[in-house]
């Protein structure tokens, strides 16, 4: 089981002793988990346009939490900054838990966090959700606008999980595993369990289609990371 991090790491690190695309073979896309842009209840902005306007009027005064340098919670925020032209201070933590703790305590003001970690705090009123990081929203977190409804349709960032095997695995094995994964994702009980985890099932049409999606995503990630200046030593 592989998430999006290795695809991001290829652009974040100057030297890696492996190649994500070369060394492992994609089998099937499994799920996407949307990120939710959340702020503290006391934050003056109640919508994404209001947030952008406030950030532009107060450059460098908003602290943005993440689960660590290079984490999707960091990269998604950098993409938001780049696309909106705002200036926020990135505050990396060692994991989602500490980042959420400080967000709830008001030490930081905004976070692009995983929906599963955020949703209970949103429902309880301890955090305010401004948008889901998908254009049309997500069925796993109903009631929260997608970026299109929130007024920023060009912004989209999801955190995917997929099934991989070592490069060189016979093609017939890869196809059989793909068929099994797609069959499993079609079962209502499996889809229900995925929804409880705050994720959306995204079965790929074929191993080749999944690989094409990953390869097409790489240039945009590389450009965004390069322009944002995000690096990990």
Let me know if residue 184 belongs to a domain. Answer: yes
Range of the domain at 129: 35-150
Let me know if residue 136 belongs to a domain. Answer: yes
Say whether both 56 and 144 belong to one domain. yes
Say whether both 53 and 82 belong to one domain. yes
Distances (CA, A) of 19 to 15, 22, 24, 72, 167: 10, 5, 8, 19, 11
Say whether both 28 and 39 belong to one domain. no
Say whether both 87 and 187 belong to one domain. no
Last residue of some domain: 150, 170, 191? 150
Say whether both 141 and 42 belong to one domain. yes
Say whether both 42 and 141 belong to one domain. yes
Question: Beta strand pairing status for 63-66 and 110-114?
Answer: parallel
Say whether both 98 and 180 belong to one domain. no
Say whether both 183 and 216 belong to one domain. yes
Query: What CATH number does the domain containing 143 carry?
Result: 3.40.190.10
Let me know if residue 233 belongs to a domain. Answer: no
Instruction: Return the higher-pLDDT residue of 108 and 216.
Output: 108
Instruction: Return the higher-pLDDT residue of 229 and 185.
Output: 185
Residue 195 pLDDT greater than 70, yes or no: yes
Q: What angle do CA 179, 181, 184 make, to 5 degrees?
A: 110
Last residue of some domain: 125, 150, 175? 150
Query: What CATH number does the domain containing 199 carry?
Result: 3.40.190.150
Say whether both 143 and 174 belong to one domain. no
Say whether both 17 and 83 belong to one domain. no
Say whether both 46 and 25 belong to one domain. no
Exposed e or buried b per residue across 84-111, where buried means at least 16 C-beta atoms within 10 angstroms of its C-beta: bebebebbbbeebeebbebbbeeebbbb
Residue-level pLDDT at 117:
85
Residue 18 pLDDT greater than 90, yes or no: no
What is the rounded CA–CA span in Å between residue 135 and residue 132? 8
Let me know if residue 197 belongs to a domain. Answer: yes
Let me know if residue 16 belongs to a domain. Answer: yes
pLDDT in tens, 61-86: 999 999 988 788 988 998 899 889 99
Let me know if residue 87 belongs to a domain. Answer: yes
| Local structure of 160: helix, strand or coil | strand
Say whether both 212 and 178 belong to one domain. yes
Please answer whether residues 73 and 38 qualify as being in contact, where contact means their C-beta atoms are separated by less than 8 angstroms.
no
Number of domains in the chain: 2
Let me know if residue 202 belongs to a domain. Answer: yes
Last residue of some domain: 107, 124, 150? 150
pLDDT in tens, 139-177: 878 889 999 999 999 898 888 899 999 999 999 999 999
């Amino acid at each position: 089981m592989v998430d999006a991090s290795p695809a991001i790491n290829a652009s974040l690190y100057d030297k890696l002793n492996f190649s994500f695309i070369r060394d492992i073979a994609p089998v099937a896309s499994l799920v996407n988990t949307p990120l939710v842009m959340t702020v503290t209840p006391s934050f003056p902005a109640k919508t994404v346009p209001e947030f952008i306007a406030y950030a532009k009027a107060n450059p460098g005064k908003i602290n943005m939490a993440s689960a660590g340098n290079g984490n999707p919670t960091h990269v998604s925020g950098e993409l938001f900054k780049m696309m909106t032209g705002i200036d926020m201070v990135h505050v990396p933590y060692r994991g989602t838990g500490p980042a959420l703790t400080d967000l709830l305590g008001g030490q930081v003001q905004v976070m692009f966090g995983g929906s599963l970690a955020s949703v209970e705090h949103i429902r309880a009123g301890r955090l305010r959700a401004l948008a889901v990081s998908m254009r049309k929203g997500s069925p796993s977190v109903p009631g929260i606008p997608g970026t299109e409804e929130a007024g920023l349709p060009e912004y989209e960032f999801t955190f995917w999980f997929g099934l991989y095997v070592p490069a060189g695995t016979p093609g017939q094995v890869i196809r059989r595993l793909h068929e099994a994964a797609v069959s499993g994702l079609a079962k209502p009980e499996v889809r229900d369990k995925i929804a409880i985890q705050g994720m959306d099932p995204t079965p790929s049409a074929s191993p080749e289609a999944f690989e094409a999606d990953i390869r097409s995503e790489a240039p945009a990630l590389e450009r965004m990371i390069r322009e944002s200046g995000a690096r990990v030593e």
